[in-house]
Amino acid sequence: MAKKQVAGYILEKRIGKGSYATVWKGRDDKQELVAIKVISRQTVTETAQLRQEVEVLRKISHPNIVRFRDLKKSTAHFYLVLEYCAGGDLSQFLRAKGRVQEETARRFLTQIASGLFVLHSSNHLHRDLKPQNILLSDCSVDPVLKLADFGFARALPEQDMAATVCGSPLYMAPEILRHEPYDAKADLWSVGAILYELLLGRTPFSGSNPLQLLANIETTALSFEGVQLSAPGQQFLRALLVHSPSQRLSSQAFMQHPYVSLSPPSVSLTQGAASKKSHGLRPYIAVSETSKDQPSPVADVQDTEGSFIVTEWIDKVPKSGAASPSVAWRSWSAWMLADSET
């Protein structure tokens, strides 16, 4: 049977499917393996997420960030071509192998931190860090980890009148769950949640709904029961998984922390990609795609491969910079605690 060809690429095997895209293992005209995201052009939001992902990937080249290869179009679809990572994602790794030894977790952490440092240095937030969005280069005992899926990534804009809550709840920083302005420290909470899951085989906090999840984060002490974890490891996790962002590690302190690396990693950015405010952690409210002059529904709720975005229109931002979370939770009827499997 002849293999399917699209936009000059051969599709060999479907390796993932979600509401945002179907992902195929494929080959280019030189028979090199690639990953191809096939995305419908029918949904405006999906198109916006694709634009954002391509914009970020074209700006940044780093061993710990999945490499952009190509973007093709047809009348019905976009084809986002990326480097192929034979090891699957970190979620699949955890399901197959369970929790890992602290030495392995630290090795993984250093690579995640290296990719995130470059992203933050270019004044972007990922906003959806989770095991499903971290790829493994191969199935060896020492794979290269690569940050992926930048559909929710954003630059740091000026504050505006719309507030966006997005990400995957179990890895989402509490300030986002509270519908407050947030900054790069929100990504660091997510890294802490991922590291915790690597070490303990479970997420640090859970709940039957978002309000319960937030309450558990704010009232439940971080538990290390069931594993032998070094004192520095426990201290580092507590420094990341603190519900008040003002008490959480900054990006710079995170990168320079002995548990991550003895020194910040060497990175390569395109000229001008890193500004003088690379580590500036000014809070912001992410702006929706909707124009100020256009009417908007109270909430736009979407399920994107286990990640969610809730865009809420408000007349003005309160002095605290936060919108009332109760409105978002009442509208978040499609919320599901567990990520959907692809």
Per the CB < 8 A criterion, the answer to whether 213 and 336 are in contact is no
Verify that 121 and 211 share a domain, yes or no. yes
Kindly report, residue by residue over 271-312, the tens digit of the pLDDT: 334 333 333 323 323 323 333 333 222 222 233 345 655 443
Per the CB < 8 A criterion, the answer to whether 57 and 105 are in contact is no
User: Does the structure show a pLDDT above 90 at 82?
Assistant: yes
Section 224-241 average pLDDT: 96
As a whole number of angstroms, the distance between CA 42 and CA 305 comes to: 17
**What pLDDT is stored for residue 164 in this prediction?**
63
Q: Where are the beta strands (DSSP E) in 274-328?
A: 299-304, 307-313
User: What radius of gyration, in Å, describes the C-alpha atoms of the chain?
Assistant: 20
- CATH label of the domain that carries residue 42: 3.30.200.20
**What pLDDT is stored for residue 18 in this prediction?**
73
Which tokens hold the place of 229?
A: 């974890």
DSSP at 169? G
As a whole number of angstroms, the distance between CA 260 and CA 265 comes to: 10
Task: Decide if 340 is inside a domain.
Answer: no
Verify that 280 and 211 share a domain, yes or no. yes
| CA quadruple 154, 239, 131, 219: dihedral, nearest 10 | -100
Verify that 74 and 147 share a domain, yes or no. no
The total number of structural domains in the chain stands at 2
**What pLDDT is stored for residue 307 in this prediction?**
62
128 is catalytic: yes
**What pLDDT is stored for residue 228 in this prediction?**
93
**What pLDDT is stored for residue 308 in this prediction?**
52
Shortest CA distance to 65 belongs to which of 151, 154, 153, 148? 148
Q: Identify which has the larger pLDDT, 143 or 2.
A: 143
As a whole number of angstroms, the distance between CA 196 and CA 202 comes to: 7
Which band of pLDDT confidence, cut at 50, 70 and 90, is reported for residue 264?
very low
Residue ending a domain, choose from 83, 115, 135 = 83
- CATH label of the domain that carries residue 98: 1.10.510.10
User: Does the structure show a pLDDT above 90 at 325?
Assistant: no
Catalytic residue of the set 128, 149, 183, 187: 128
**What pLDDT is stored for residue 1 in this prediction?**
60
User: Does the structure show a pLDDT above 50 at 340?
Assistant: no
DSSP at 222? P
Place of tokens 């990326």: 82
Task: Decide if 290 is inside a domain.
Answer: yes
**What pLDDT is stored for residue 44 in this prediction?**
59
Which band of pLDDT confidence, cut at 50, 70 and 90, is reported for residue 153?
confident
Which band of pLDDT confidence, cut at 50, 70 and 90, is reported for residue 21?
confident
Verify that 49 and 70 share a domain, yes or no. yes
Residue ending a domain, choose from 41, 66, 83 = 83
Q: Identify which has the larger pLDDT, 306 or 334.
A: 306
CA 224 to chain centre: 24
Task: Decide if 51 is inside a domain.
Answer: yes
Average model confidence (pLDDT) across the chain: 78
User: Does the structure show a pLDDT above 50 at 229?
Assistant: yes
Verify that 76 and 99 share a domain, yes or no. no
Q: Is 72 annotated as a binding residue?
A: no
Shortest CA distance to 194 belongs to which of 19, 14, 339? 339
Verify that 142 and 201 share a domain, yes or no. yes
**What pLDDT is stored for residue 166 in this prediction?**
79
Give the range of the structural domain holding residue 154, as residue numbers without chain letter: 90-331
Section 37-55 average pLDDT: 83
pTM for the complete prediction?
0.78
Verify that 123 and 272 share a domain, yes or no. yes
Section 80-97 average pLDDT: 96
Verify that 151 and 78 share a domain, yes or no. no
